[in-house]
Amino acid sequence: MKTAIYPGSFDPITLGHLNIIKRAAVCFDKLIVCVLINSDKHGGLFTPEERADLIRRVVAKLPNVEVDCSATLLAEYARQKKACTLVKGLRAVSDYENELQMALINRKLNPRLETMFLPSSAKYTYVSSSVVKEMARYGADLSDFVPREIIDDVNAKMKSRRDG
């Protein structure tokens, strides 16, 4: 059984992430979408558990996709799950430098772990979770940015942040 992991912060999941999930899911027997901690990113909009719940709702119809969250090192998580592939999406050359470094660190920590890069679909190259949060802050229409199942959640969370 070939298991791959699609790791990320997913705060929140975007249409770009979903596109990568669907394309990766056909390449492996099982794809685990895992919400992990990026220590460079502080003050997230959603908690890791909330992010995983949103992803679960969005991928509910994809039979070989599981959703999890973990506060461990990614390389260790992959070992626990007996996964030997990480899937990463690349939107632009500027993503590559950081992703290459992470791929090398992950393979150093777990020599069986390969990272496969999928180029983002052209129509999603400008989409990121940060852009989604910025748009939501100003009440802009999110339908071209996040799966429709979670639009209300993102708007409600942003409103509760603003009001609270």
38 part of the interface to ligand PNS, by CB under 6 A: yes
Token duo for residue 25:
């899911």
Q: Which of residues 54-83 bind ligand PNS (CB under 6 A)?
A: 73-74
42 annotated active-site? no
161 annotated active-site? no
28 or 77: CB nearest ligand PNS: 77
47 or 139: CB nearest ligand PNS: 47
52 part of the interface to ligand PNS, by CB under 6 A: no
Active-site entry in 51, 70, 129, 157: 129
- Cβ 163 to ligand PNS shortest distance, Å: 27
Q: Which CA distances in Å does 26 have to 31, 54, 63, 69?
A: 9, 21, 11, 22
31 or 163: CB nearest ligand PNS: 31
3-state class of 125 per DSSP?
coil
Determine if residue 88 is labeled as part of a ligand binding site.
yes
Q: Which CA distances in Å does 121 have to 20, 21, 23, 26?
A: 8, 12, 10, 16
Number of H helices, E strands in the chain: 6, 5
CB atoms within 10 A of CB 91: 17
Active-site entry in 41, 137, 159, 162: 41
Phi, psi of 37 (to 5 degrees): -90, 125
* Binding site listing for substrate: 9, 41, 74, 88
Enumerate binding residues for ligand PNS (CB under 6 A).
Answer: 7-9, 36-38, 41, 73-74, 102, 105
Residues with catalytic annotation? 17, 41, 91, 129
